[in-house]
Structure 1
Amino acid sequence: MQTENRFFDDFAKILNGAAGTLAGVGREAEASARARAREWIGGLDFVSRDEFEAMKAMAAAARDEADALRARLDALEAKLADGAV
């Protein structure tokens, strides 16, 4: 009876060790895949979220300034047209 218990104990230890090893291999493979993906994406012309948001804000400010200048120009053209008539 004791040999059966010892056999199962040893078998359980082997399975636990194998499961731990497989989990470690899985984590290492995932880390390696992430590192390769970062390297691949880093070589492309992508921008970070922060850079994108900064450029988006700058574009909105430029649009607002252009709209203000357009309104000013329209007002000046209207004055010029009224004075010339």
Structure 2
Amino acid sequence: MSNGPNRILDEFAKLVTDAAGAAQGVRREVETAFKGQAERILNSMDVVQREEFEALREMTLKVRAENERLVARVAELEAKLANSSDEVSETGAKRAAKSSSKK
């Protein structure tokens, strides 16, 4: 009779272990089904994947930096052009003044 209670407990432990394994299996199946359904919904909504978003973000940051560099370069060239045209104007004005003073 000493095997009776131990045997019942062993059977109960086995039953609980089997139930836990079955619950994990059901959980995996539900997760897989949920992920599949979520992917179908997101694909129908035309949502961008994270990898594509990150790649586009990096490209945008590079383009923005290049744009800022080019804006600075254009401003520098415009300043040089303004200075050189001022020098040309001054030289022309000096020549005109010399010409009129000689008359």
Q: TM-score per shorter chain, which class? A: 0.7 to 0.9
Partner residue, 1:44: 47
Partner residue, 1:83: 88
Displacement of 1:60 in angstroms is 0.6
Partner residue, 1:30: 31
> Which residue, 59, 62, 65 being the options, matches 2:67?
62
Displacement of 1:56 in angstroms is 0.8
Identity rate, percent: 21
TM-score using structure 1 length: 0.74
CA RMSD of aligned residues (A): 2.3
How many aligned positions are there?
85
Displacement of 1:32 in angstroms is 3.8
Gaps of 5+ in 1: none
State how far apart, in whole Å, the 1-side matches of 2:36 and 2:65 are. 35
State how far apart, in whole Å, the 2-side matches of 1:66 and 1:17 are. 69
